[in-house]
Structure 1
């Protein structure tokens, strides 16, 4: 899978520290210029649905599970590799200093109607919900959050970069 970007969090002075690898799968679901996103009230941002790949799962199995859990997506099909985004972030627990995260992004189709979600407790507490939004509006919103919010999460730069690539590579010019 092609490498889309590799980033190092600005607070990290060196990657020569104890680290671990976390694998994630993220879904890109488009209907015209509308994209299925997760809006998180706590961070006031839009992110691609997806998350950590469980032990014993491959990337596509993780993608399908995460999409269904977070958005209620049904009949996930036509899964195609888009690219991988790699990031090195600080880790705030005792066992490691850095997490290396590889997010494997896939385009796919789903049924029009979303089913029930199965969000984790922290996702509910953060006010996360699945929404369809115009790609351009999601980019503009995230850029505004980056510029003006002191509560933004660490993932917003990744998500805004990925949304820009979706806009540039996947939207059909009208």
Structure 2
């Protein structure tokens, strides 16, 4: 799926600054694992950038573990969402995941600590409400929520 912002068209895509990330959709007892960046009021599914030489599923597993302390098995790639901005192109790959071990420690980056990342479990209804009604405190928050919405509904 492709999302175009800032007036970008297929002919004006920025191919110099591209970022690839993976995200995990984890369900337990009818609730879904998310992270909430309290300082910006942005909700996302746990995930982040891929390392050189890392596979997509390895990236999803590592990022879920780092952000939440929960070890998962990446089961299936459900959708890839590419966002085109004037200055960059971002692709997020969404994997359904299953919990392997919940007794691990978070390994947050300084940026995640600064943004006050917290782990939350949300129902499907709460997630739809967040993505429909929460405009966040960050200028790009609505775009992030739109991307996460598409990742979520295509992973159900």
Name stretches of at least 5 consecutive residues in structure 2 with no aligned partner. Answer: none
Rg larger for: 1
Q: CA deviation at 1:80?
A: 1.2
Please give the root-mean-square deviation of Cα atoms over the aligned residues, in Å: 2.1
CA distance in 1, matches of 2:14, 2:83: 15
Q: TM-score, normalised by structure 2?
A: 0.85
Pick one of 62, 66, 73 that aligns with 1:65.
Answer: 62
For 2:80, the equivalent position in structure 1 comes to: 84
3-state SS in 2 of match to 1:155: helix
- Is 1:161 aligned with 2:150? yes
Q: How does 1:1-174 map to 2 (within 5 A)?
A: 5-12=1-8, 15=12, 17=14, 19-74=16-71, 76-77=72-73, 79-90=75-86, 98-111=87-100, 113-146=102-135, 149=136, 151-152=138-139, 153=141, 154-166=143-155, 170=156
Provide Cα deviations, 1:145-168, integer angstroms capped at 9, x if missing partner.
Answer: 23xx453524121012223334xx
Secondary structure of the equivalent of 2:125? helix
* Cα deviation, residue 50, structure 1: 0.5
| Contact residue 36 and residue 131 of structure 1 kept, 8 A | yes
Q: SS of the residue aligned with 2:70?
A: coil
TM-score by length of 1: 0.77
Check whether the contact 2:77–2:95 (CA below 8 A) recurs between aligned residues: yes
Query: Residue 79 of structure 2 contacts residue 154 of structure 2 at CA under 8 Å; is this kept in 1?
Result: no
Unaligned runs of 5+ in 1: 91-97
Which position in structure 2 is the counterpart of 1:94?
none
